[in-house]
Amino acid sequence: MIAHQPLPTDLFADLLVAVLSGHRPVHSMLRHTRGRAYDELAWLAERGPLRTRGARPVVRDIGYYEPRPGAIEAFARIGAGDRLRAMAFRLELGRDRRWRCTAVELGGPRPPRPEAD
């Protein structure tokens, strides 16, 4: 029997949900992010958008699009009890052949953008 190799979208969705729900510290994503994605994630995590009193948030569904080789734009439906949230994130394959998150968004307020953008 061949073991199912999880897709990078599956792994990153679970990691991001763990951080945004407060079950994992944001600094655990330092080596898994690039560019301003870490700052975006830290800003979101500070607000605890997926923290719940009841059921722990879980990834219900994931979809993705590959705009070019080595880049994946993904979305995930996150469920916690009877509440459903949407999360979007972008992954890019580095020269070291490791995937890193380069952007993350969750419905609601967005982090302020630096003037230099």
pLDDT per position as a tens digit, 60-71 = 999 999 999 999
**β-strand 71-80 against 58-68: which pairing, if any?**
antiparallel
Between the CA of residue 39 and those of 22, 30, 45, 112, what are the distances in Å?
16, 10, 10, 10
Those residues with Cβ within 8 angstroms of residue 83's Cβ, 6 or more apart along the chain or in another chain: 52
Q: What is the pLDDT of residue 33?
A: 95
Q: Quick check: 30 and 90 in contact, CB under 8 A?
A: no
Name the pTM for this structure: 0.85
Question: Which pLDDT score, from 0 to 100, does residue 38 have?
Answer: 94
- Alpha-carbon torsion 36, 42, 48, 51, what sign? positive
Q: What band does 46 get if pLDDT is binned at 50, 70 and 90? A: confident
Q: What is the pLDDT of residue 51?
A: 77
Provide the phi-psi class of 74: left if phi over 0, else alpha when psi is between -120 and 50, else beta. Answer: beta
